[in-house]
Amino acid sequence: MVDRPVTTGETHVVAIEELGSEGDGVGYVDDFAVLVDDAALGETVRVEITAVGSNFARGEVVDAEFGFG
């Protein structure tokens, strides 16, 4: 069983470290992937977890003030 360090409704600050195959940002919470729509590579954003699967979670940006640039 995969340990899931996130649950639906939580917020986390994640650094977008790579882009997924559909252009979504990918960040990690305790090595667990979080896919984030509308997040750019290199950004650090606060996300709300909207869904949790067995291998990854999905989140949406709630605060982009952590971005660089």
For residue 8, what pLDDT is reported?
Answer: 98
**Position 39 confidence tier, pLDDT thresholds 50, 70, 90:** very high
Query: Do the Cβ atoms of 5 and 28 come closer than 8 Å?
Result: no
For residue 3, what pLDDT is reported?
Answer: 76
**Position 33 confidence tier, pLDDT thresholds 50, 70, 90:** very high
Give yes or no for residue 68 having a pLDDT over 90.
no
Domains in the chain: ranges and CATH? 11-63 (2.40.50.140)
DSSP designation for 37:
T
Report residue 63 as tokens: 């605060």
Give the dihedral sign, CA 12/15/18/24: positive
Report residue 16 as tokens: 């977008």
Phi, psi (rounded to 5 degrees) for 4: -105, 110
For residue 2, what pLDDT is reported?
Answer: 63
From CA 1, how far away is CA 61, in angstroms rounded?
28
For residue 64, what pLDDT is reported?
Answer: 83
